[in-house]
């Protein structure tokens, strides 16, 4: 009986090891990635707070509360450390969009003249729009 239990345990361990190896390396969570990106810009602060602000900025953009990058920057200016430069505010905005809401990338791209200032319509136009 003990030999059977040891064999079963060894088989289970081998199967788990094989499955873990096949799964590949684990990735950092998005909040850590965001924090690491901010550090490259010289933006420091509590990881959870910065992630929270980044997620709120995305919510404000997706709901239309902030219609463009300028309005989003005003929100960030009020919620980031007082000594944050304008460049850091826009870097925070860009990094937050990249990590938490890549579908809002057009907001930052519009600053460079690469995209329309409003969200592109999804799908075909409705009959009333034609």
| Mean per-residue pLDDT, 71-100 | 96
In the chain, % of residues over pLDDT 70: 66
**Domain housing 98:** 30-112
Considering the chain, what is the average pLDDT of its residues? 80
Query: Does some domain include residue 61?
Result: yes
Query: Does some domain include residue 118?
Result: no
| Rounded Cα distance, 129 and 127, in Å | 5
Note the pLDDT tens digit of each residue in 18-58.
444 444 445 679 999 999 999 999 999 999 999 999 999 99
Q: What is the pLDDT of residue 91?
A: 97
Confidence check: pLDDT of 14 > 60 = no
Please report how many Cα atoms fall inside a 13 Å half-sphere around the Cα of residue 56, on the Cβ side.
13
Query: Does some domain include residue 45?
Result: yes
DSSP 64: T
Domain count, the chain: 1
Query: Does some domain include residue 55?
Result: yes
Query: Does some domain include residue 54?
Result: yes
Length of the chain: 130
């Amino acid at each position: 009986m003990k030999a059977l239990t040891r064999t079963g345990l060894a088989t289970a361990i081998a199967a788990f090891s094989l499955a873990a190896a096949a799964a590949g390396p684990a990735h950092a969570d998005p909040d850590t990635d965001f924090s690491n990106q901010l550090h490259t810009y010289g933006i420091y602060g509590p990881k959870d707070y910065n992630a929270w602000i980044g997620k709120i900025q995305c919510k404000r953009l997706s709901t239309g509360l902030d219609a463009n990058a300028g309005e989003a920057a005003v929100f960030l200016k009020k919620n980031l450390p007082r000594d944050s430069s304008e460049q850091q505010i826009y870097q925070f905005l860009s990094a937050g969009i990249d990590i938490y809401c890549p579908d809002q990338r057009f907001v930052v791209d519009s600053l460079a003249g690469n995209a329309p200032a409003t969200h592109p319509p999804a799908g075909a136009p409705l009959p009333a729009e034609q």
